[in-house]
Structure 1
Amino acid sequence: MDEETVFKHLRAMPDNEWVRQIHSCKISDPLQHPWGRSYRLVEWTMKHTPESSRRVVPAESTPLEIAQAVVSHVPGRRFCQQSDE
């Protein structure tokens, strides 16, 4: 999957102020569950946030569908390790 094509779709979306803050985006090769459909893991980071966000999409998703999934993502719980200081 070509991450640059996904970025092209992200930049063309109407709410691209938020999209401009995306620092990196990685899309995995298709992964197969032993019990169901294959999927891809999409992971992206924002410029000023150290944590990454992840989303699973069907393996047959087009770059436009992946871009739409990234934009429609709603952050869930954050799991951070506590510092011992």
Structure 2
Amino acid sequence: MVEDTVFAHLRAMPGNEWVRQIHTCKVSDPLQHPWGRSYRLVEWTMKHTPESSRRVVPAESTPFEIAQAVVSHIPGRRFCQHGDE
């Protein structure tokens, strides 16, 4: 699966200790807008936090390129998942 390969690349990247805190990583199947390029949605969570981070990458991105996008992510809007709502 793409997620497994992305996780392997993330674990192998040197100098990114926070990457070891990634708990889950999901990569969507390619999605197509009615306009523009197709893309994949990448979503990951960190251990001990309920928030998820998301990033959009081009559909043709390799697992290594997806891992690089996760590492280079700059946090912006955060989404909290509350279990009691």
TM-score interval, normalised by the smaller of the two chains: 0.7 to 0.9
RMSD (Å) for aligned C-alpha atoms: 1.6
Residue 21 of structure 2: aligned partner? 21
Shift of 1:77: 2.8
- Whether the 8 Å contact between 2:11 and 2:19 is mirrored in structure 1 is yes
TM-score (norm 1): 0.88
Stretches of structure 1 that go unaligned for 5 or more consecutive residues are 81-85
Stretches of structure 2 that go unaligned for 5 or more consecutive residues are 81-85
Residue 40 of structure 1: aligned partner? 40
Residue 5 of structure 1: aligned partner? 5
Q: Which has the larger radius of gyration?
A: 1
Runs of at least 4 residues of structure 1 off by over 3 A?
A: none
Distance 1:59 1:69 in 2: 13
* DSSP 3-state at the match of 2:25: strand
1:58-77 equivalences under 5 Å are 58-77=58-77
Distance 2:13 2:20 in 1: 11
Distance 2:68 2:20 in 1: 15
Distance 1:3 1:78 in 2: 21
* DSSP 3-state at the match of 1:20: helix
* DSSP 3-state at the match of 2:10: helix
- Whether the 8 Å contact between 2:52 and 2:78 is mirrored in structure 1 is no
Shift of 1:79: 5.5
Shift of 1:52: 0.3
